[in-house]
Amino acid sequence: MKGFTRWAVWGTGIFCAIALLLHLFVFDLWVVPRGDDAQFAASILPALMPEDKVLVQRGRVPKWGELARCASPLTSGSYVVGRVFGLPGDRVEVTDSGVSTNGTTLAARHGCPQRMVAHPVTENLVTMSCGVAETGAWSFEYLTTSQMGMGTHSAIVEAGKAYLVSDNRLMHQDSRDFGQVDASTCEHIVYRLWGERYSDGSRRFQILW
């Protein structure tokens, strides 16, 4: 019994040490804020929701197409979230038909179930179509509607900057709103531990691209 206890203590200590090192040098545990910003909460759908517990990778700028957390260019100490669609020198164009980088657009390869999303301004429920974009290495879901009427937004990404696009293309809070972000502050959101409730198996232990 003493031998088992000793090994259990050692095992727990080693696990805690590894977890601490990962936290200090590799991953940051982040709880997606709920706050009172309905626009932010809508813009991060469908990949994220407020109160999600996620792991954020430290030490490298997210690659094109990856979901990122970046320092807000408007509010000190807060974050913005979006998918990286432009890095220095890239030309990004966002229209009702999709997002293109240097003239290349990711088309939806197949669909996913429609979502009812409360509009952050009117609070009316909006039926949104769900698409799945394939990058060649991974896929991600995004939300859109057939009646967006957003017009065209285009930009050349500046040196040291990144261009973010919300996965919710209609109710966005991204570089169309706050401009390009400092790429050195961006970190890749890689994994969801669980959502607001651990009991919700649909939002537990998932890789996030």
Evaluate whether 118 touches 42 at the Cβ level (below 8 Å). Answer: yes
Question: At 51, which amino acid appears?
Answer: E
Please, which residues have CB within 8 angstroms of residue 28's CB and are 6 or more apart in sequence? Answer: 55, 56, 58, 187
Structure tokens that stand for 56 in this block:
């954020």
Distances (CA, A) of 78 to 70, 84, 143: 9, 18, 24
How far apart, in whole angstroms, are the C-alpha atoms of residue 138 and residue 208?
10
Domains delineated in the chain:
32-207 (2.10.109.10)
CA-nearest of 69, 92, 73 to 158 is 92
26 pLDDT tier (thresholds 50, 70, 90): low
Q: Residue 2: is its pLDDT beyond 70?
A: no
How far apart, in whole angstroms, are the C-alpha atoms of residue 206 and residue 159?
33
Please state, for a pLDDT cut of 90, what percent of the chain lies above it: 72
Please, which residues have CB within 8 angstroms of residue 61's CB and are 6 or more apart in sequence? Answer: 87, 162, 183, 184, 186
How far apart, in whole angstroms, are the C-alpha atoms of residue 202 and residue 187?
24
Helix (H, G, I), strand (E, B) or coil at 124: coil
Please state, for a pLDDT cut of 70, what percent of the chain lies above it: 86
How far apart, in whole angstroms, are the C-alpha atoms of residue 11 and residue 6?
9
Evaluate whether 173 touches 80 at the Cβ level (below 8 Å). Answer: yes
Which tens digits make up the pLDDT trace of 33-61? 998 899 999 999 999 999 999 999 998 99
Query: Among all chains, which residue has been given the structure tokens 């991600």?
Result: 140
Of all helices (H) and strands (E), which one includes residue 14?
Answer: helix 2-25
Q: Residue 78: is its pLDDT beyond 90?
A: yes
Q: Residue 8: is its pLDDT beyond 70?
A: no
How far apart, in whole angstroms, are the C-alpha atoms of residue 15 and residue 17?
5
Q: Residue 4: is its pLDDT beyond 80?
A: no
Q: Residue 98: is its pLDDT beyond 70?
A: yes
Q: Cβ atoms within 10 A of the Cβ of 57, count?
A: 17
Q: Which residue has the higher pLDDT, 92 or 110?
A: 92
Q: Residue 21: is its pLDDT beyond 50?
A: no
Which tens digits make up the pLDDT trace of 167-203? 999 999 999 999 999 999 999 999 999 999 999 999 9
